[in-house]
Structures are given as structure tokens and as C-alpha cells.
Structure 1
Amino acid sequence: MNSELANTDSIAINSKAIISLIQSDPLSTIADLISPLSDQYGFKQDASPVEFFSHASKHQRGICVCSSEIFTTIEEFDTFLRRITDFNKSLHLIMTFNHHHGIYLKLFLDANFTHFLIEPFSDQALLDLIHDLLALGDQEPMFQSLDKDGNVLNVNSTWLKAMGYEEDEVLGNFFGDFMLPESRACVLDNFPKLKNYGQISNVIFKLKRKDGVAFEAALNGTALYDKQGNFIRTQCELRSIDYFRETKAHIQALLRKETTLRNMMNCMVNVQQALHQQPTYDKFRRHALEIISRNKAVAVVLMITINTNSGEIELDQSPHPCIDFNALRRVNKDNRSIPGLLPTANHTIEFVDDISKLEIDTGTLTLLQHEHVKSFISIPIASNKNSKSYSSLNLFLSTDEALSKEEMRAYSDLAETFRHAKLYFGLQEKTKHLLDNLKQQSITDPLTGLYNRRYIEEQINAEISRCKRYAQQFSLIMFDIDHFKGINDTLGHQTGDKVLKNISELVLGRIRTTDKLARIGGEEFLLLCPHAELNQAKGIATELCTCIASTTIIDAPLPVTCSFGVIEWQSEESIEEIFKRVDENMYKAKEGGRNRVVG
């Protein structure tokens, strides 16, 4: 055990929520982190977020590592973030998110938290992030929270140590009492801006320690509001000017990194939302490339896909007023105009810090440089099993700074979203195709492909409702193949099936596009004729009767004929009543000698 480990520190951990309050030397594994602390420093097994606050209240500083998966609702997660914000200790929050919790990540970023990991991540990635926070040590900023009148609500241990006060000497007092008189006017001028506009940055003023020593500090603050938009309190970080002078370059690098990662995560959230908003993969891909290109660090985005069978290369890029890679490729008639790494099975992520190092034609290079492209990153999009193509996501960046491992991971996660999207839309398309087939099977007759009885009855009921509403008419035609039993008995059922199919095709080719034809029994058919009165329907039936009788039906030695019954729907008549009437008319046609129309 490290002898320098302060006894005010401890650790609480859960399988899904690792909550740590630690101050020690770098540790090699999570097991090394937990085991030595378990007995001597109050290791708390199975700690929930609620238990954590009770446990953590006994300690002055720490790190909370928590997975978004332990929260069942967005409201519960929001409450947790607010409690972390209100906690009057020096506390860092690390959140881990899976790909389904984009809205949680957005809330996290909106609450001004910056330390997070996207699952899956390695133990080492978590340890590296913890080590980075531990390395802050005494460089941790002073923190304070003020109410609407400027009275102190919370301060952290760094604030107390820097100012030389005990906590009970500070809380409830007016913040202006801890400044030199000449600085109060500056801060008091900025406090209303903070309340009204939500943020102030780099306000320079002089603080006065308890021993009377003054030092210059810079304040950055944000305001918190309730759901009605009413101001609640401030959240402010203070740093001595000496600290800024000594670490200016380091802070600028951290701020750039934070801004880049924040933009990348916002981009990731927007891309994931597009995944659920766009109807097809092609539309998602185009929209996602446009979203990525909105990132200030990205000049243009190019997706390259190569077909492994034909070798054909497809380019898809984000909109750009001056750069059109497809046009460049057509002009030069070769692939040297493609300023990317052609994807292969062994493609790995590549970062090029100088765009001139790419093997591309001079014209394309000049164009990219003119559009302030300085560096380039190519990320493979993992292929699905049995895939016939490879793809890569290529981003042309306006910065030549080396990317951190966190930035590289963020870009890789972004590319992985495209693979998930392809799977998602592929599955969606297969599901839709399956449902369409099932629906089609449920409403059609498998032999003839005509509508079945259940579907035509639904359509007749809908037509009755429509005609009642708009005072319109419709007619029904029922017909039956004459002597069909004899065809089956003498020629066989296979020939009978051919006759049914032939009759179906013949009638379908001669009815109106608005009419609906169904097979409702063995050799019985029903034709629904919307907007048709009796005489018009009888005309349709007569034409069909004549056509069938004069057509040679395949494999039938004698002419095949049909008997037709026709009716016009009468106001207030039910579906049972109209079925009975049209059936009676059809049997009258049979009794009258067949091959005729009765209506």
C-alpha cells in the first residue's frame, strides 16, 4: 500500500458502477486499484449511486466512474448529474456509455462534464483516464457555487486550501467579501451577465486570502436554471494567473482536445439519431456524411467502397462548394484522383499529418491545399461476414496536429456506426420484405394470385361505408365456371387448376383498374365494381361472359363458360344481404341455361 495515500480517500465499486475516491501513484490494473484499498480504506462492495453520495460525503476529493446502464430512466440520470454538480467536494465524474445511450451522452455533455468512455473499452483505457485525473493533483481548480444574491453555496477543498479558510467560515457569506475592494466592481458587473446569459469567461480579479495576501485569479462560470428557466445558482472555476502563465500551452491543448471530443460526441449523437430518422441506408449515409462535415475540424468527408468481385470503386462524399472527387476522377480517368486509401481486407486506421504525403495527382493536391486541408485520416468500416465489398471513411482535416488516442477512438466509433447502420437497414429491409410477403399471403388466393374471400369482404365493407358517407353506388358481379366438377372428374385436378388460372388472367386483363377480383370458393369468383350502377356492371359482366366463351382455355377439350349474377348495392343493405342477392342471381343464370348474365 502506498504510504502517501491519504486516509480521507476511499473507493466504492459496483459491477456496473465503479465509484472511486482515490489519491495514489499510477496503478497497473483495476485489481491493483481495488485490492489494497479494500480493508484499510473502507472498500464498499455493491455501491449504488445513492450509497455513493453517503460514502463520498466523508471524503474531500475523488473520482466517480459510472456506467449509464445502471439508470433506468433519463430523469434518474439527470437527477444523478445534478447531485454530482451540487456535491460540495472536489469530485470528478467519468461516465461510460454504450451505443444505445446517445441521449444520455448528450445530457452529460450539456451538463459540462467531459470525461467519458464509449463501450466497449479496455481496462487500460479506464485506468489511463483515472491516471490523467490523478495527475492533476494540486493543479485542480478552485470551485465555487453562488446563489442568486452572490452568497457562497459550495466551495471545494482546493478553494479552502488556497484561501486559508475553514468551510464554515465561507458558506453563506457574500463572495465579494473575499476580494480586494478594487476587484468587486468588475465581478459585480459580470454577475448579472452570468445570471442572464448563462456564461462568463476569463474574468480577471484579485482574491484576498484569510492572512491578507492577495493573488490574481481568472474566473469561468456557468449558470444553472430550473425547468421554467429561472436562475438557480452559478458554477464557477477559479485559477490563479500564475497557473495560467505556467501552463498556458498545456491548457490550450486540453481545451482543443476537449472541444474536438465534444464536437465528435455531438456528431456521434446526431449520426445515431439519423440512423433512426432516415428510411434507407443510402439516405442515412448521405445525411451522416453531411453531419460529419459540419465539424469545424473537418473540411470534407469521403466514403470509398470497393466491390471485391468487380473491382468497381464507388465514391460518396459530403457536400462541398469546390471539391467534387467524382468529377476529378472523371476528368483524370484514373484512381489517382481519389485522395484516400483504397479499402482492403487488412485495412487499418491511418493518419497522415501532411496532405502532401498522399499519392495523388498534383491538381487534386493543389485543390485540397487551397481549401485549407492539412491532414487526413482513413478509418476502415468493418465488413460484415460474407460481405462482397470493403469500405473506408476518409476525413480531410483542417488541422495538422497529431490526433490523440481518444480522438482516434472517437473516429473509429464513428466509422463503426456505419457498419451497424448497414446491418440495421439490411435487417429492416429483410423484415419489411418478410412482412410484405406475409401480408400478401394473408389476402391472396395461393393458386390464382387473386384476392381471397376475407380480403374482398373487408373491401366491400369499406365500400359500403364510403357509399353511405358520400351517397354513391357500387355493384357486385359473382360468377361461377359452368360444369367445373366435370372438368376435374374427367381431366383431373391439375387441368382444373389450369382452367382456374386461365380464367383469372383473362378476367384481370379486361376489368377496370379500380375493380377488385377475388376467388371466394372452389370455382366461384367475385368482382367488386366501385362507382358502378347496375347497367354498367351488367355491361362488364356481359363482355366477360362473351370473352370467356369465345376463348380457348388450355387443356380444355370443350369451350369453358361461366354464369354471372349482378346486383347494385341498395342503401342500408348489409354485406350478408348483398351476398345473398348476388348469389341468387348467379344461380338463376345457371338455372336459365348457363353462359349468361342475370341482374
Structure 2
Amino acid sequence: MAEENRPGQSTLFSSLRKKIVFKFMLISFPFLIIISVLISILTPYWYRREALRALEDKGRSIALIAAHSLAPAVVFDDRQAMEEVFASLSQSPVVDYVFVFDSTGREVARYQRTREVIINPEEVRRSGLLPSNQHLNQYQQISVEGKAIGYVAIGLSLRDLNHLLGHIRRVIWLSAVIIFLLGLVIIYFLSRLVSRPLRQMARTAREIAGGNFSLRAEVQTSDEVGVLARSFNTMLDELEASLNKLKEARETLETRVEERTRELRDQVAQKEAIAQKLKESEELFRNMVETLGEGVVIVDRDENILFANQAARRIFNDFEGKLEGRNLKEFTSPQQFELIRDQTHRRRQGLRDVYDLELTLADGSRKTVIVNAAPEFDPNGQFVSTLAVMTEITERKKQELALSEAKQRLEEVITELEKRNEQNRLLLEMGDNFQIAGSEEEAIEVIKRYALKLFPEEGCLLYLRRDRGKFLELSCALKPPSPPVDLLEVNDCWALKKSMPSFFQDPEKDLLCPHLKGSLPPNQMAACLPLSSAGETLGLLVFFCCPEKSKSARGPDFLETSRQKKDLMLSFAQRTAMSLANIKLQQSLKEQSIRDPLTGLYNRRYLEETMDRELTRARRAGQPVSVIMADLDHFKKINDFYGHEAGDYFLQMIARTLQRAVRSEDIVCRYGGEEFTVIMPGLSLEKALARAEMILNSVRHLELVQGNTIIQNITISVGVASYPEHGERGLELVQAADLALLRAKKEGRNRVRAAGKDQGET
């Protein structure tokens, strides 16, 4: 103990005894703090929770009693009874206020012990602590026979409880401090007791470190410290024996060192001779490499250049002799450097390779070299460097690239020619199909079919003009970007107004046609191509193309493709316009050949063609066909009295009357002169006679104005025949109806007569 009290051991951190004790105390210090803090926090919390629970039970009992006592007073609105209940409740020192509400929530009465505390009636409508934490509120329903008639709110003061809790907290904090200090004292003495054997071993170790190897640690216990002391003594025994052996070995080693020194001197002399020969060989090799026409480079495992001959320096444009030490990464792109790293990995495996490498030099120029690479290993078999022989092939690569580009351009031209040949073939095929098409509907089907083949990625709209009107009707819509309009006014399209094609490259900048505004996406191009022939507008083709191309992606190739598509669209539009014009001309010629030019009705030629067709259909369907023959009475007198122009006008008005009086499926023809014929498919004889009477009455009521004269009492005579009663062929029916017409004339005109079964009298 005298040694522990020496002046040199007075400092806390210089004494081993105090260090160990201090560490034990540091380990226990957080646990003491945690225990003290938990006691000082949890105990007041637990006490307050239990006190609040007890106060809440008490408040619940008081609220139930008050609700029971206030029930009659609330029912009869007895204020005096309520005051008596309030007086009874005020006897309890914890009751600070009482509020009574009726069933609607209206405050009926209240009691407050003191007016210093302001109570908000809205806050007391629930049970629990008020926001001020000064009162515990009990909100209880007042009921009579299970029916709620009101509510009572009773506030219990927390002043006494809070005062008591403050006193308890102070006592608990004082207790926690006492426990903490007492724990520190106990831990200090326990630490001294536990660390005593360790301190004794420390003193022994210090003396042994001073050179006294005869000392041994005292073993007094059989615990871990005793085991440590015994192990320490055993280690000292072995250490002493080892020191003796080392002393003997040192003497032996000194003798061997002297012998080995002599041997090394001889070896050094031999190596110096060998090094001189190697130097001469290396100088010879360097001279040979420098005179080579190929570039020779040696790089280490990290791609740093160790050696380069003059040819290699010319390849790398190194005219100042600063190539050594630089990394190949400085002369290559990331992709080419990755190729070098892959090749170095193969060199590590002992493989040799020949490969092409592209160098990017400081001035921005590029060179292509063929690299013949071989690995170099040290005597231990470890990879150390790569020997590379480089041959520049930049010009040859340029020639190969030029040939490759020429080949690619040729293939593109061939592909484009094949594409154009296919387009021309389709256009010729479309023209052949247009010649076969006999109607506008068939022509539209041809347009749809070949538009899909020639423009698979584009949308297409076809508008056709009917009877030279102001509007164009939508006849075909293929993949439009948005629902198209069904009717298009001629003035709503710039192309139709100018009679020239309009192409819209940029919807945001170009002047769009009114019918395209709002329906064309931002990145989509459009084209309006008028279909015209001989100055007459037949229709309009609208194309929507390139929906996937943004403005930034529209390069030279895109513009060239757009130009080609424009030419193809124009060719398509021209052929379409020619076809529609031809079909329209054919239909016009056909109409002229089957129409009467004066009345616009079908002529006798069309009557004969139609009659055979309708009879064939009637036989197949088992239905009747009726024929009406009508003749204008006294037409010669009208011509002689009013003139031929009036006669023509009379015939036109009779034709219009006939057209209005028959069904849409009936066929009205001018048979000749003032004679008219009506073919009525599917109409029996009786219904045909009724329809003939209707026609007769319509003509009777006609009033025609000729100059200043109003002509009335116009009449016609009508004959009716029907299939199969009056004939199996068209000529027989017409003859039967004509005979019936003659009979109507003979009987006085202005009447209807049906044909007989043998085409005679009925």
C-alpha cells in the first residue's frame, strides 16, 4: 500500500489502480443515471395516473348522483330544486362547477365555486381533462325511463392533486440523488475489491519489464484472475528459456554471417560481369528496335508506356520525347481503351493477339494501327508488361471506309429504286383497276385499297363533291389522327381555293386550313391535294404523315423521304382525279344514253333493259310487276294553240307530277311523244290501279301558267297491266297496258283501265 501512496502516483490517470476503478465506475455510471431518471419520472407519472383514475371514479359517481337528483328538476324546470342540488354538490371541496343542459344542448343552469376561473360551456360537453389541465370534467346524461332529457357537466378541481404531485416529485428527486450517490460509493469499493489481484500483477509486470526475470506473480485465487496469473508465470518461464537459446543462436549467427559475407562478395563480382554483358546486349537490342520501321511500345499492367521507339513516337506525334510515363487512356476513346483493357486481360493469361486500334491524338486527328501484342513475365511467372508492335494503317482504313460507304449508298439507292418500282407498279395496277371500276363506289374501294398499300404509315381522308355543290362529303377515312368532319365547305380548304396542293410542315407556324385546325397534332405533317379535272373540282385528298417524328429528329434523310412522299402523293392524287373524272364522264354519257333530254325521265331504251331485269327478279322472288301506260289528252291541240314551247313545258310538268306520285323504287320513263310508262316492281294489279287513280287526280289538279293564261282541267288516260296475269315478257306487258290505254281513250279519256287476261276487253 506504501507504493500506492507515492507522490508520483497521485494523478488519477497515471495510477493503474485508479484507472481500473475509474473504468468500472464509468461502466456503471450510465446504469445508475438511467435507474435514477426512471425512478424520478415513472414514479410521479404512476402516482398521477392512479390519482386521476381515482378522481375520475369519484367524479363519475358524483355525476351519476347529480344526474339522478337533477332529473325531476329538469323535467319540471324547477330552478329552486336545481339550486338545492348545486348546494349539496358544493359541499364536496373538489367540485368547482356544475353545468346543466336540456336535451337540445341549451344551458339551463350553472354553478361555479369562484368566478376567477372562466369555463367555456362548449369545452365541458365531453368527459376528460379540460385544455387548461386544471379540471377533470364529467359529462353525464340525465334520463328518465331510458329517455335523455338533458345533460350535466361536473368539474372536479385538480389543485390539491397537483400540489400533492409537486411535493411527491421533490421527495422522489431527492431520493433518486441519494440512491445515485450511494450507488457510486458501492461501485467504488466493489471495483477496488475486484481489481486488487490485477493491481498486484501490474506491479510484478513493471518490475519484470525492468529486467528482473526471477519474479513471479502471486496466485491467490482460482478464478479468471488466478488463471491469468498462472499463465503469466508460465509465459515468463518460457521467455527465460527462449532468451538463453537466443544468446546461443546469436553467437552461432555471427560466425555464419562472416562466412556468408565472403561468399556474397564473390557473387557480386560475378553479377557485375553479367550486368555488363546484359547492358551491352540491351544497347544492341535498343539500336535494332530504334531502326525498325514499325512502332514498338512496351506498356505495364496499368497501360502506362514504359518504352517507345522512334517509329512509335511518330505514330503518337511525340516529337519532344515525352511519351514514356503517359497512359494509353490519353490517346484513345473510352470504347478503345476498354478494348485495350480486355486485351491486357488476355496478355495476363499468356495469349498473343493481333487487333485493330484507333488512336485519338492531342490535335484531334485519328490514326488506325494494327497491334501485334505479346505478354512479358518476370522469373516468378507474374505478368509485368506487354510488348506491342504497331503498324499504321490509317490510309488503308480510310479507303476501306470509303468503299463501305459507297457500298452502303449503292444499297440504299437500289433499295430506293426497288421501292419506287414497287410504287410505280402499284400505281399502274391502281390505274388498271380504275379502268375496270364502273361506278364511283367501286373507285372509292380501289382508292382505299391502294392508299393502304402505298401509304401504310399515313392517315388519309377522301372528300368528294356531289353535283357541283358548295360542300364535299367524306367518302373514305383511313387512320385519321382525330375524328374527321363529315361535310367540308369548299372555302374551308386553301388547296381548293387556290386549286393547288398545300403541304403543312409545321402546324405551329404554317397557315393551316380551317378544317385542320384543332385536329392536327403538334408533330404531325399534313397535305391537302385537290382532285380536279378540266377546271372542275371533283374532291379532296388529305394526308397525315410522320406522326412519330419530332422537329429535332427531322434531318436531311427525313426531308428527302418527305420530298419523295410528296411526289408519290401528287401522282396518287393525279391518277385518282383522272379516274374519278373518267367514271363521272362515263356515268354522264350513260345517263345521256338512257335519259330523255326534255323531261329528264328514262327513255324507251332504258325501259326495255329494265323491264327484262325486273321480270327476272320477280320470277325469282315470286312477286308481281305492274306497268302503267299514260297518255296526255288533247296534246296536239295544246301544241297547236300554245306552241311547241308550251307543249314541252306541259310534258315537263306531267313528268314531275308522275315522279312525285310514284314510289322511290318505281321507274318512270318517257315512252315517246306525250306517252309515259311506269314500271312498279312488287305491286299487284289492284294496288297499281289505285296508284294510277292517284296519278290521274294529281294531273287533274294541275294549273299551268302560260303567259297571262292559267290552263286548267288537264287530263290523261291510263292503262294498267300486271305480271303474270297479262304476260310473261316485258313486250307483252307493255302491249297489254297500251291496249288498256287505247280503251280508256275510246271510252272518253280522263280515266284508268286495266288490261284483260287475253289483252282484250275486261
TM-score w.r.t. the length of structure 1 is 0.42
Higher RCO (CA < 8 A, seq sep 6+): 1
* Larger of the two Rg values belongs to structure: 2
